[in-house]
Homo-oligomer: A and B are copies of this chain.
């Protein structure tokens, strides 16, 4: 793959001259300046309400095949560019949601990678990676996932999606915990026979401790650790596993340090109590799973001090510590992994990822590697074509210094949100964020949803999270001038809701 996935975008975005002043600048924001005009569009352009007639027609068609209750609209991905998503009715929207936070560097304009026969081969020949990988598999893992491995981790396992990644990470923790408990890795005859019928000791009554408000996926193991919305969990059998409170902090964090520290201490105490309780009831906590920022659950933050202490509690009680970076990973917080903000050399035993990483999977410390073959295994174990993409995406991130861009854009975004919050104190509260991974609370659920729709009609695509928050999840190519463009539209929409 000699040429870059986004070579044209790369060249253009390096042209740092500001060419254009966006029309219609109002209120809070500076003139929106742009650098990518030949590649990107110069702003949103709305032709119909959203969803428009073509989207409605296609939604009806798809409704014959699937539940379409969650369909927003249909997209024209061929016409989408950079930060702009184009729908099938020709509406062009500034995308601050990016397919639920899963587009790393925007929508590309061309794909020179496909000119290479060997990369075409990788797309067509999907191997069973666990038994017969392609020749370049170790090299591509090194170029892609290992080049951004979290501190202390040199091992990684790819999987097809985020839920499978967490499921297998949980299994790795159970296997590790059980071998530690045994003192060796040789199962007894009773282990072997009882596991075949789902019974202990072969299938031990271990648990994973999770946090209220957390989201870790929707398969049954993951779902037992997901506690963000009832609709995800309703009617599905689950495990009796401990659930700790996640700190409910006040924002900005630096203005409420004492109260927030008390709240975090309360939660940490509860974590230790739960670990002891569950051990006593014969369901020891093999692992603790947590997001660095609870995303789906409402963009709930905690301080580095909280995570450091939690990490220590895991150590103290012999539980593995699993940081779920499926949504936070890949650069949107201004560091490649959100846990880097904690400043720890040994932040975790397992770090799982998906979304912006284009492939699912998890990093782990050496001792968390399954001791035998076929324990962490399935037919595909990921998709090597996604590793090729990721290697290209990481090249772009490095060459364009996108993490610095994100930090810069993020500061401007958060500053703008603070200003709007001051202007609309009855409407907005708790502006918060790291990098462009920002959020703000709205007065109530109904107003939040109305704001989301109004913003969309004005060409800005946003997503909600939690009960009444808006989450901002732009791609890493979201520049300061995109921030200003967004803030102008957002400000107009808020004025209509005051």
Contact = CB atoms under 8 A, between A and B. Distances in A.
Contacts of A378: 161-163, 217-218
Given A85-B132, A114-B123, A373-B69, A230 B62 contact: no
A238 B138 contact: no
Given A155-B66, A198-B239, A234-B202, A58 B372 contact: no
A107 B134 contact: no
Contacts of A205: 237
Contact of A377 (B64, B70, B164): B70
A41 to B, nearest CB: 16
A42 interface: no
Interface in A62-88: 62, 64-78, 80, 85, 88
A234 B403 CA distance: 42
Contact of A127 (B75, B132, B243): B75
Interface of A: 5, 54, 58, 61-62, 64-78, 80, 85, 88, 99-100, 102-103, 107-108, 111, 114, 117-118, 120-128, 130-135, 137-138, 141-142, 146, 154-157, 159-164, 167-168, 170-171, 174-175, 177-179, 187, 191-193, 195-199, 202-207, 212, 217-221, 224, 227, 229-241, 243, 354-355, 358, 360, 369-370, 372-380, 383, 385, 389
7 contacts: A58-B133, A69-B374, A102-B126, A102-B128, A167-B219, A192-B230, A203-B238
A154 B65 CA distance: 6
A40 B170 CA distance: 44
A170 B236 CA distance: 9
B379 A124 contact: no
A83 B207 CA distance: 45
A232 B204 CA distance: 14
Contact of A370 (B67, B131, B372): B67
B236 A171 contact: yes
B128 A100 contact: yes
Given A77-B121, A191-B230, A195-B233, 15 more contacts: A54-B135, A58-B137, A65-B141, A65-B155, A66-B156, A74-B133, A75-B135, A114-B120, A175-B235, A193-B230, A195-B230, A198-B241, A203-B234, A218-B377, A219-B221
A274 B280 CA distance: 32
Given A195-B234, A230-B192, A58 B138 contact: yes
B126 A196 contact: no
Contacts of A204: 235, 237
Contacts of A68: 373
Nearest to A375: B231
A150 B67 CA distance: 19
Nearest to A229: B374
